[in-house]
Amino acid sequence: MSAEKISMPDLNGRTAVITGANSGLGLETAKVLAGLGARVVLAVRDTGKGEAAARLIEGETEVRRLDLADLASVRAFAEGWKGDLELLINNAGLMAVPKSTTEDGFETQFGVNHLGHFALTNLLLEHVTGRVVTVSSGLHRLSRGIHFDDVNLEKGYTPYRAYGRSKLANLLFTLELQRRLDEVGSPVLAVAAHPGYAATNLQGRTGNALEDRAMGVLNKVVAQSAAHGALPTIHAATQDVPGAFFAGPTGLFMNGAPGPSSRSSAARDAEAARRLWDLSEELTGVSFPL
């Protein structure tokens, strides 16, 4: 299925921010949204790579620096923002990397994939007029819950365990954000998406040579392209969907046309979502602004 077969809105005069838009799913999403007329801001850690990516996009773009592993960078990005923001797409992330910590001392995957986006969203939320789209993963099912007494996984870190937990956090964040938006009568939607199995530069960074080689083979044999993997994000950003919607591929082997996707029972736990929100506010010093 191609993006052209999806009924798309006219985004002329609208602005979209996409984190991690210099490659993979973020770049493919940026190409589509710019093609629909949106001004697309590529929020990237490496502005040189961002500028190179922007040259591949037909339409209006801007590159701004954002390092989600550094809350000072997140704050600087938000403080420099002016005007309305139709779409905030929390796309950037790390997958199954060796244990490390962010500038603020958080376990890196939780810090980048969840806490960085949590802070960014709340700092920008007063500007958002349309939707917040957060990219999760089908591998959120690897985690049965958030370990609130060990958020940095000091009692037992494995790359995929940490990744699954961070992607579960993305879904719980979306659930609680939508609840809060509904509570204050905001028209903004909080939705999520996952790409299925798409070949991007996320894979192959576990630090285990055997695992990385196996992932490389699977990417060539099984995975769909980044362009196809971006379709659920585009679906969540542009189609008529309810709040807290979770989009994903509807075909076998985590590929195919985008549509509604199922999530684990842990990802539907409203109490865990509230508890995670409170913890995230405490860790980042950022709270819901509405």
d(CA 84, CA 170): 24
Beta strands in 68-146 (DSSP E): 85-90, 128-135
Distances (CA, A) of 167 to 18, 156, 256, 267: 17, 18, 21, 9
Q: What is the DSSP letter of 107?
A: B
Terminal CA-CA length for the chain: 38
Q: Is 163 annotated in the active site?
A: yes
Q: For 156, phi and psi rounded to 5 degrees?
A: 160, 90
Look-up of token digits 């490496």: 46
Pick from 258, 263, 260: which is nearest to 227 by CA? 258
Angle between helices 71-79 and 117-124 (to 10 degrees): 20
Distances (CA, A) of 264 to 30, 45, 57, 169, 290: 29, 31, 36, 12, 29
Catalytic-role residue among 157, 160, 163, 197: 163
Residues that are catalytic: 163
